[in-house]
Amino acid sequence: MRIKAFFVFSLILIGVAVQTAEARQSTARAREEKIAAKCVTCHEKKSPGIVNDWRKSQHSRARVTCYDCHKAEKTDLDVQEHEGALISVIVSPRDCSRCHPKEVREFQESHHAKASTFLSKETPEGRIMDNVLGYQVEGKAAAAVGCEKCHGSKIELGPNGTLTAATWPNTGIGRINPDGSTGSCTACHTRHKFSIGEARKPETCGTCHIGPDHPHIEIYMESKHGVIYQSEKDTWDWDIAGSNWDAQYYRAPTCATCHMSGIGDVETTHNVSTRLSWYLAKPRSYPRDNWEENRKTMQKVCLNCHSINWVKGFYTQGDEAIHLYNEKFYDPMKALMDGLYKDGLLTKAKFDEELEFKFFEYWHHEGRRARAGFFMMGADYAQWHGFYELGRNKLELERLIKELREKKGKH
């Protein structure tokens, strides 16, 4: 009897404890919602664009408030006292990970999250070369408005948690945030709509994947896939959640479909590296670790709309084009350039001689265009902006190198 009474009493105690914890939680939530309501009332007048966007977002529908994202701890390096609340301006991937842990984990594992490593000095040869170009040949201010806009800056802090103008604004894909996390989710989901549909459109990727050295958006737009996209995009449904967005909603893939989206039995991923078999952007291409598995995953994407013979044939043609580039165009020219350094005809310093610019463009511009042009189905890029220019510039480089050797009497 006594045991039973004790048991009942304990149950009541536990019940009360649970209730008070719940009550405390809901009081805390009510307090936060009150703070958040003030953000909206004031910003509606001061910056209506922000509040309008947020109102149209899935976040607003799910009652995710301004304060849920911007609230900060006293100990955060970029904490600011703002209208009676502690906030930070930057909402980093770490902040998003409270509610989206899977997306953030995958993103952090990708090359996107590492895109600003070239800022540091302890990097491999190829990267230091680009580094010298941005920061020394051109200058720091040029790097801030160029390289760092796509790759990301290292955010520096001024007094009271403010962000310095030298490093902010910046939404580069590998930005180094004050909390130590890397990246910026707004690079593809612009604030404050944070739309899934926007991120699936090729123009979003094209803000960075563009230009003479990596013209992926231009290549895509001239491919059959891109042409179908342009003629039919207004009739496609872009806002279907996660892995339900498959070939019944579109007739041709976008960048996201091939590199990120869930389709058939391929799972959605925020790691854009997991479906790639080659390193296409490097001076000389070589296969990735896990290249066979990665390639299979990409091929599974294609198989939603193509047959296996089509896809295998495509990859065979691509592999042959890569070997052609490596062996006929890159290797012989690299050997000639190495010879010049060895014989003291070029200085060790990078980008202080015209020949170095010419060789840089040879692999960095036309060499990349030839390789990416084929793999993303833009024949004009593979040919006229790619292999054709390699052929012509190979002759020119050979002539310049011969002339230099003759001038210095070292041939």
Site for ligand HEC in 234-273 (CB under 6 A): 239, 241-243, 245, 247, 250-262, 268, 270, 272-273
Query: Which amino acid makes up residue 108?
Result: Q
Maximal CA-CA distance, the chain = 110
Write each residue from 165 to 194 as x if it is in contact with ligand HEC (CB under 6 A), else as -, in one continuous string: ------xxx---------xxxxxxx-xx-x
Site for ligand HEC contains 200 (CB under 6 A): yes
Q: How many CA atoms lie within 13 A of 10 on its CB side?
A: 6
Buried b (16+ CB within 10 A) or exposed e, 29-52: eeeeeebbeebbeebeeeeeebbe
Q: Which of residues 353-372 bind ligand HEC (CB under 6 A)?
A: 372
CB 366 within 8 A of CB 390: yes
**How many residues line the site for ligand HEC (CB under 6 A)?**
128
| Cβ atoms within 10 Å of 263's Cβ, excluding its own | 24
| Cβ atoms within 10 Å of 315's Cβ, excluding its own | 15
Query: Which amino acid makes up residue 88?
Result: S
Q: Which of residues 87-126 bind ligand HEC (CB under 6 A)?
A: 87, 89-91, 93, 95-96, 98-100, 103-104, 107, 111-112, 114-115, 118
User: Which residue in 58, 120, 230, 231 binds ligand HEC (CB under 6 A)?
Assistant: 58
- Segment near ligand HEC (CB under 6 A), from 3-11, 22-30, 202-210, 400-408? 202-210
> Which is nearer to ligand HEC, 94 or 328 (by Cβ)?
94
> Which is nearer to ligand HEC, 218 or 340 (by Cβ)?
218
Q: Which residues contact 69 (CB under 8 A, 6 or more apart)?
A: 59, 91, 95, 96
- Segment near ligand HEC (CB under 6 A), from 1-9, 195-203, 324-332, 341-349? 195-203
Query: Which amino acid makes up residue 401?
Result: I
CB 363 within 8 A of CB 283: yes
Site for ligand HEC contains 130 (CB under 6 A): yes
Site for ligand HEC contains 300 (CB under 6 A): no
Site for ligand HEC contains 305 (CB under 6 A): yes
Token pair 């002539």: residue: 399
CB of 293 to ligand HEC, least distance (A): 11
